Amino acid sequence: MSNSDYILKQCGACLGATITNINLTQELSKQVTESLVAALDTHQVIFFPEQDLTPAQQKEATKMFGPLRPSESFFDRLDDDPDIEIVINDEETPPTGTAKWHADLTWAKEPPAGTSLYSRKIPQGKGDTIWVSMIAVYDSLSERMKKYLDGLSAIHSWDMGLGGRQGILKKGVEHYMKHKNANPPIAQPLVRTHPRNGRKLIYVNPGFTSHIVNIPRKESDGILNFLYGLTPRPEFQLRHKWDIGTLAVWDNTSTQHAAVDDFFPLYRELTRVTFGGHGEPK
């Protein structure tokens, strides 16, 4: 099998593609890596099924999409490696917070460009992940609404009610306050332009966005709830059923995601690598 002969098949109406006939443990040519990056820019989330990756190989495969960056999420590190997290849910560690629509770390000055997630142990038929295209959400708005939203900013906060914060709090109040003080609330553009494909997208999420700047709170709540209500619409979504050995790579700028936590108390194990490269939101 030649990696230059990989097969790409679109799997969702407005986002998602599956890439087969490729082995990510092998060295890829510059031409192939550039085409895979272009595929991610176009399809927003791409899947590589039937891969057999060690954590080190997952990291190496992820590097083609952007520079690796240590994540500041609440997942544990794998063997104290700053670049790879391990996501384990079982009878003792139920999923917390990930079923809520969110993009990762939007409270950061320079949020992650994307993430790779590799499935190692999956409950059969359970634990799906759903992605939504925020480009498609923006495109669905009327021109009058787009004009109104353009130029607005919204506050994103580390200390919102995402369930994973409880895990940080368990490590002690001092540890919690250290993280909170290092990540003060930040204003981000409500409409962001993707730095690679130039498309406009809605850049607020119920996981981390508290309010819109410089408008009355009731008006802010109404606008945000309207936008949040578009995210669950199936025409903007892709629902992925995991198989062991699938690597998913998604664009954290243009998408949001939510886990379907229907598998408790069954065992589920994935490894997660974060990459940067999209800069500060504009």
- Residues forming the active site: 102, 104, 257, 272
Tokens 């919102």 belong to: 160
15: Cβ contacts below 8 Å, ≥ 6 apart:
43, 44, 45, 131, 132, 133, 136, 238, 255
Pairing between strand 17-20 and 45-48?
Answer: parallel
| Contact between residue 107 and residue 157 where contact means Cβ atoms under 8 Å apart | yes
Taking residue 81's Cβ as centre, other Cβ atoms within 10 Å add up to: 15
How far apart, in Å, are the Cα atoms of 143 and each of 12, 101, 136, 148, 228? 25, 25, 14, 9, 19
**Phi and psi, residue 184, nearest 5°:** -70, 160
Residue 172 CA to residue 180 CA, distance in Å, equals: 12
Max CA separation in the chain (angstroms) = 59
How big is the CA angle at 40 (ends 280 and 53), to the nearest 5 degrees?
105
- In sign, the C-alpha dihedral spanning 192, 198, 134, 123 is negative
Q: What is the CA radius of gyration of the chain?
A: 18
List, edge to edge, every strand of the sheet that includes 209-212: 186-189, 153-156, 209-212
Residue 19 CA to residue 48 CA, distance in Å, equals: 5
